[in-house]
Amino acid sequence: MNNKTNINWYPGHMTKAKREMNEKIRLVDMVIEIRDARIPLSSINPLLDEIIGSKPRLIVLSKADKAEKEETDKWIEYFKEQGYQAIALNLIGDRNITNTISSCCLTIMKDKIDRLKKRGLKRVEIKAMVVGIPNVGKSTLINSVSKRKLARTADKPGITRALQWIKVSDEVALLDTPGVLWPKFEDLRTGFMLAVTGAIRDDVLPLQSVIEFAISFLIENHKNRLVRRYDIEVSEDIFETVNRIALSRGCIQQDKTIDYKRVYALILKDIRDNQLGPISWEIIDADIE
Ligand SMILES: Nc1nc2c(ncn2[C@@H]2O[C@H](COP(=O)(O)OP(=O)(O)OP(=O)(O)O)[C@@H](O)[C@H]2O)c(=O)[nH]1
Ligand SMILES: [Mg+2]
């Protein structure tokens, strides 16, 4: 595979998602865009700007517990410099997510709220919609804000239901169905980022290439973590390092050759489960020219 491949891995979904989003976006005042704190650029859908137009947006970097805090702080600063409101959250661990989301939305919509109040409106309710690529934490945010598990009946075809609004506070409400944006990537590096963090299915890219990308990044940036986790001496050579991990973990087949399928799965699971510690796969100083 060359480095500039247009990986059209699910174009049908993309078209459908865009149509659905265009319909829903009309119902809201603003958008809460969730991105993955580990890959704040690769988890963007480039169509979003087109879909949301000039509506205000709050950027939430999710899974902050799985990224390195100092890197996440730099990304937040970067997005603020670009004129966005941005916060980082651990959507399953942080307290008071409801208040945090509510107050951020009110800050973003302050001018509009003031304007409407001046015109005599006593009660202004801001409506927001949660959007983001698959697996980024949309449902988790909605559930945690609503403090209950919402039925997922919307996923089944043929069931029409009324649009539901979840009250975040007296002044803010969320649309209870999130907008799914399919990640689009034209370069393999973005694809690898999406694969290591679990945003795309494992069969989209060759697993061996995903592991080579991951191990090469880890050798360069987190050598000690590999040493500690796998009890190996880390070689600068990617294949040698993978072989050493396989030997250390007993990923050997009956004929004494290395069981690559098993060792690849093991490495990927460790990365995604935070067993190698929090990892920021996109580092601002390296990924922004
Ligand atoms: N550690 C950690 N896990 C999270 C966080 N947010 C979400 N998750 C986990 O990530 C997985 C995906 O979360 P969902 O809320 O289902 O993601 P989604 O965006 O609704 O995904 P789709 O419905 O597939 O589009 C779940 O296992 C969550 O528990 C977070 O901030 N930290
Ligand atoms: Mg969901």
Ligand 2 centre and the CA of 27: distance in Å? 20
Give the CATH architecture of domain 11-180. 3-Layer(aba) Sandwich (3.40)
The pLDDT value recorded for residue 50 is 87
Give the residue among 60, 58, 31, 59 at the shortest CA–CA distance from 130.
31
The pLDDT value recorded for residue 12 is 65
140 lines ligand 1 (CB under 6 A): yes
Rounded-to-integer distance, Cα 289 and Cα 287, Å: 6
Question: Do 58 and 108 touch, CB atoms closer than 8 A?
Answer: yes
The pLDDT value recorded for residue 21 is 85
The pLDDT value recorded for residue 282 is 96
143 lines ligand 1 (CB under 6 A): no
pLDDT(7) > 80: no
- Phi and psi angles of residue 257, each rounded to the nearest 5 degrees, phi first: -90, 165
Encode pLDDT of 20-64 as tens digits: 888 889 999 999 999 999 999 999 988 888 888 889 999 999 999
For range 71-79, the mean pLDDT: 97
The pLDDT value recorded for residue 150 is 56
Measuring CA to CA, how many Å separate 22 from each of 25, 120, 160, 166?
5, 31, 18, 20
Ligand 1 centre and the CA of 201: distance in Å? 15
65 lines ligand 1 (CB under 6 A): yes
Q: For the ranges 57-61, 66-70, 84-88, 151-155, which has the lowest average pLDDT?
A: 151-155
Domain positions in the chain = 11-180, 206-287
Atom of ligand 1 minimally distant from the CA of 37:
31
For range 186-207, the mean pLDDT: 91
Say how many C-beta atoms besides its own lie within 10 A of residue 27's C-beta: 11
For range 215-235, the mean pLDDT: 96
pLDDT(84) > 50: yes
Question: Do 134 and 178 touch, CB atoms closer than 8 A?
Answer: no
Q: How many CA atoms lie within 13 A of 174 on its CB side?
A: 27
Ligand 2 centre and the CA of 99: distance in Å? 21
Say how many C-beta atoms besides its own lie within 10 A of residue 14's C-beta: 18
pLDDT(155) > 50: no
The pLDDT value recorded for residue 90 is 97
The residue assigned the tokens 């991951």 is 214
Rounded-to-integer distance, Cα 174 and Cα 146, Å: 9
Indicate the residue type of 72. T
If you classify domain 206-287 with CATH, what class do you get? Answer: mainly alpha
Rounded-to-integer distance, Cα 76 and Cα 62, Å: 12
Q: For the ranges 59-68, 143-152, 225-234, which has the lowest average pLDDT?
A: 143-152
Say how many C-beta atoms besides its own lie within 10 A of residue 86's C-beta: 22
